[in-house]
Structure 1
């Protein structure tokens, strides 16, 4: 090697030499590798080979591999790597999940497949939450969201609230607001608590073509269990925007309603609405209270 060749080699910086070496290497990623590996692990499980733990729920026993469960479920990972007594136990009982549901979730851990149905979603979601299988939990939420209907949206909303499914809770609540005229006819609405009814009918986003629907909903809810609910009439009527009702409806329907006649506070709300109608249009705008504020639903024009 002559002097010029040696000079050319020595003039290369370490970074340049490293980049040149990288250019000469190829990294390949096999996208099917993980799938194949889990398929083999599931086959081993089905043949009870290399299994090192038995998961028990109710009367059902499931053999499995700790490392697979720990890799897919933070719940099992904490159990098998922490200071819990289950860390070295050969048989572990899970008390908060029924056997059939737990079996489905362990199958999911190995196969990434699970079927969510109307029959199993209410037990599957809390079980997935316990095992911290967040993909399954989200699948359950997505399924419930796709099943929203005026006859079940309030029940789904309550279920989402109990299990802290924030997005589903918001979706179900919005659905109830947007379909209120149909929702108010159902059993779920009639079984709501006072606070839940107040929260729903006070919403600015309630979708009603006329405030008449809100008034009718209040009367229906009271009459459903009249004896125990009669005392709440004034508290509910506070959220009905009587001034936005047509004058004829106020006179012919609201004023003639016995539940209004027998409640002094409700009669005051009616008088307020009648006075509102006696004012010139430009003066009505000066009255600012929740009952004179038009609702602003997402899908319908403002109530007038």
Structure 2
């Protein structure tokens, strides 16, 4: 999935906190975190340590609530090693827990959505989905649509798929991702009633372009794809 790096970042603000806390409370606890005071948990990621407060992390993530209250863990335990996430992403997750804002950029949105999904932080998931919807273009629409196969983003998937159907002719001209579609994915697109093309020749030419990208393995699909043009 390609993004235009020139696009400015978006600082997403969560209007409805997963667990409500006053702005004053968040500010006070964030100051304590930054000063290393009254912290009762250390999150370790690849050797990096982050001091935090269990209650704050629990307030925005069911992952942390389960981690800190599970019968497998001693409630007095202070240090937790978290796998499957980079220190940079963990830093953003913890900052979000305290401030309920997060910078979303073309460079971090994919990893951030994956991290938010891992920790079940729906506020960040929604922010990433809104950001990706705003970034949809001819070059990345297929990548964004396929990206939603891994995360529950139904509205983003619907918008990306309709973007593909409504801009099919122009998308085929410039999208490298189009050439990487599977035959099933291509077939599904060209048989949709919502497919927007001025002439049927455009679909025929798109099929030929897709086949010519890997003729040895794709020419066998001509008999399946061409009837969809009619």
1:92 aligns with 2:80: yes
* Contact 1:44–1:50 (CA under 8 A) maintained in structure 2: yes
- Deviations 1:264-285, CA, capped at 9 Å, x for gaps: xxxxxxxxxxxxxxxxxxxxxx
* Secondary structure, counterpart of 1:61 in structure 2: strand
Instruction: List structure 1 runs of 4+ shifted beyond 6 angstroms.
Output: none
Shift of 1:55: 0.4
Q: In structure 2, what is the Cα distance between the partners aligned to 1:96 and 1:233? A: 42
Indicate the structure whose relative CO is greater, using CA pairs within 8 Å and at least 6 residues apart: 2
Say whether the 8 Å CA contact 1:68–1:110 is kept in structure 2.
yes
For structure 1, which segment, 43-52 or 74-83, has the greater mean C-alpha deviation from structure 2 after superposition? 74-83
User: Does residue 216 in structure 1 map to residue 192 in structure 2?
Assistant: no
Retained in 2: the 8 A contact 1:177–1:205? yes
1:228-239 equivalences in 2 (<5 Å): 228-239=217-228
Deviation at 1:87, TM superposition (A): 4.3
1:67 is displaced (CA, Å) by: 1.1
| Map 1:167-186 → 2, pairs under 5 A | 167-185=155-173, 186=175
**Aligned residue number for residue 123 of structure 2:** 135
Deviations 1:163-208 (A, max 9, x none): 1211111110000000000111221111111111000111110011
Structure 2 unpaired stretches of 5+: 1-20
Matched, 1:53 2:37: no
1:213 is paired with a residue of what secondary structure?
helix
Picking from 125, 130, 134, the partner of 1:146 is 134
Structure-to-structure mapping, 1:63-142, within 5 angstroms: 63-85=51-73, 87-142=75-130
Q: Partner of 1:85: helix, strand, or coil? A: coil
More helix by share: 1
Offset, 1:59:
2.7
| 1:87-107 Cα shifts (integer Å, max 9, x gaps) | 442111111111100111100
CA contact (8 A) 1:155 1:188 kept: yes
Root-mean-square deviation (CA), in Å?
1.2
What's the TM-score, normalizing by structure 2? 0.88
2: CA distance, partners of 1:170 / 1:122: 18
Following the alignment from structure 2 to structure 1, what is the Cα–Cα distance between the partners of residues 44 and 65?
A: 17
Q: Secondary structure at the match of 1:71?
A: helix
Deviation at 1:85, TM superposition (A): 2.6
Which structure: larger Rg? 1
Deviation, structure 1 residue 72: 1.7
**Aligned partners of 1:178 and 1:206 also within 8 Å:** yes
Q: How many residues align?
A: 209
More strand by share: 2
CA displacement at 1:71 relative to structure 2: 1.6
Give yes or no for contact 1:152–1:188 (8 Å, CA) kept in 2: yes
Distance 1:66 1:208, change over 3 A: same
TM-score (norm 1): 0.67
